[in-house]
Amino acid sequence: MDQIEFLILRNLLHNEEYIRKVIPFIKSEYFEDKNQKIVFEEIHSFVLEYNQPATKEVLCIEIEKRIDINEQEFKEITQVISCLEDVATEFNWIVDTTEKWCRDRAIYLALMESIHITDGKDAKKNRDSIPTILSEALAVSFDTHIGHDYLLDYEQRYEYYHKKENRIEFDLDFFNKITNGGVPNKTLNIFLAGTNVGKTLAMCHMASSFLLQSKNVLYITMEMAEEEIAKRMDANMLNVPINQLEDLPKSMFTGKASKLVEKTKGSLIIKEYPTAAAHAGHFKALLNELSLKKSFRPDVIFIDYINICASSRFRAGSNMNSYSIIKSIAEELRGLAVEHNVPIFSATQTTRSGFSSSDVEITDTSESFGLPATADFLVALISTEELEGLGQIMVKQLKNRYGDKSIFKRFVVGIDRAKMRLYDCEQSAQQDILDSGKEEEYNDERKPKKSFEGFKF
């Protein structure tokens, strides 16, 4: 008889605090011995139905009702139950030991299942499911958090209010200002622009800047080849015009690339999918595969771009309207961001009227208004002949959950299309921009008072 499994059963019978803590996470298949497995099944069934620990007498009666055991097995099982004495065990130790046992058993069973799949003995699953099976087994843990108790958890709430949120900073001053220091995790951030205005350029620049901050970056492309995206990254980070990369001598190119490797501790993975052929489920599988094969976990994900993703909820070619499909894609991507605790950046097209507009509005979002409804951060990139002549592009806030979008609602950044790069403009370039959002324009009445004088406790 396995000592750990026997100890677990004994505590499941006599220690109510232990039961509440661990029973949601233990599965009957974790038990190797059939008799112990049956005892656990009866304990688990009784606790779920009556919300209190079982007794030896109850277990014997319930097991006697079973029709899947013979007389000899019944005697062996009752012998097991008779040995389940109430002996004190250090609580934290038994919980930690049980958690480790659950994880070890889950991994062992996952490996066995993977071998069966590899040998072709599982008709329902193929080899593509193996990374998910293994990652789920590795993730087994006793997560006891079941919600925030408003009346009792006020101290944790106060600490949360004063905790500095982990954000990824931009290398552009005004983007940091409007986001209060960068983008937080678990968010969906969208660039809205017309064709050839600079959506991919902006995302390639952001990806490059995050990589230089030693972040792990995943760039998923469904519009261009992996090599074309890498070419834009080269132009940005190697400081070479994109049309001159092919003319660089190999020694110079490798020298610049090797210096770049020394400069950052991060990694950049570029993955190409066919247009409209991949959805959040594919991206999740990619993340699991990267984690297992390369120990790569992204700090930020770029998806180029959202309108040419597929939805896992709707079959390709189904007769669904674009509003539902794009909204579904946005929700799935935001769910992916929450699940993997990363910010996701993507882009979308403007409508035909928005393409020719010098003042894009949120209603100019193409195909579905469900996208801006789901996104946490939505900015329009606007280019005119005048701005193009100045080497600038206008950024307009359309939705911002990180700050007040009326502050710096519009501003300009420099754009170097040859090197696929954005940069901060001089302050004088912002002076004539409508709604530039100077904080000095707020009068004293609109500024919040910081004094708590007169506040009643």
Bridge-based pairing state of the strands 187-193 and 183-184: unpaired
Say how many Å lie between the first and final Cα of the chain, rounded.
62
Q: How many CA atoms lie within 13 A of 61 on its CB side?
A: 6
Residues 3-138, CATH architecture: Orthogonal Bundle (1.10)
CATH number of 167-441: 3.40.50.300
Residue 365, beta-bridge partner list: 350
Report how far residue 48's alpha carbon sits from residue 8's, in angstroms, rounded to the nearest whole number: 17
The answer to whether 435 and 409 are in contact (CB under 8 A) is: yes
Helices 34-50, 3-14: crossing angle, 10 deg rounding: 20
**pLDDT at residue number 249:** 92
Report how far residue 108's alpha carbon sits from residue 194's, in angstroms, rounded to the nearest whole number: 52
The answer to whether 114 and 134 are in contact (CB under 8 A) is: yes
**pLDDT at residue number 449:** 45
Q: Give yes or no on whether 3-138 and 167-441 have one common fold.
A: no
**pLDDT at residue number 452:** 44
Per-position pLDDT tens, the chain of length 457: 468 898 999 999 999 889 988 988 899 999 999 999 999 999 999 998 988 889 999 999 999 999 988 999 999 999 999 999 888 888 889 988 999 999 999 999 999 999 989 888 887 888 888 888 888 888 787 765 667 888 888 888 888 777 766 889 999 999 999 999 999 999 999 999 988 898 999 999 999 999 999 999 999 999 899 999 999 999 999 999 999 999 999 999 999 999 999 988 899 999 999 998 899 999 999 998 998 888 899 999 999 889 899 888 777 666 677 778 889 999 999 999 999 999 999 999 888 776 667 788 888 887 778 888 899 999 999 998 888 899 999 999 999 999 888 888 999 999 999 999 999 988 776 776 655 444 444 344 444 444 445 444 4
Distances (CA, A) of 53 to 11, 21, 56, 57, 78: 10, 13, 10, 12, 18
The answer to whether 8 and 35 are in contact (CB under 8 A) is: no
Distances (CA, A) of 18 to 25, 51, 421: 12, 13, 57
Q: Which two tokens stand for residue 49?
A: 């139905």
- For 3-46, give the DSSP string: HHHHHHHHHHHH-HHHHHHHTTT--GGG--SHHHHHHHHHHHHH
Q: Which two tokens stand for residue 186?
A: 């678990």
**pLDDT at residue number 159:** 83
**pLDDT at residue number 456:** 47
Report how far residue 327's alpha carbon sits from residue 367's, in angstroms, rounded to the nearest whole number: 9
**pLDDT at residue number 454:** 46
Distance of alpha carbon 208 from its chain centroid, rounded?
A: 20
Report how far residue 154's alpha carbon sits from residue 18's, in angstroms, rounded to the nearest whole number: 26
Give the domain ranges of the chain.
3-138, 167-441
**pLDDT at residue number 144:** 58
Nearest to 345 by CA among 284, 308, 388, 303: 303
Whole-model pTM over 0.85: no
Residue 269, beta-bridge partner list: 218
Burial 175-201 (b: 16+ CB within 10 A, else e): bebbbeebbbbbbbbbbbbbeebbbbb
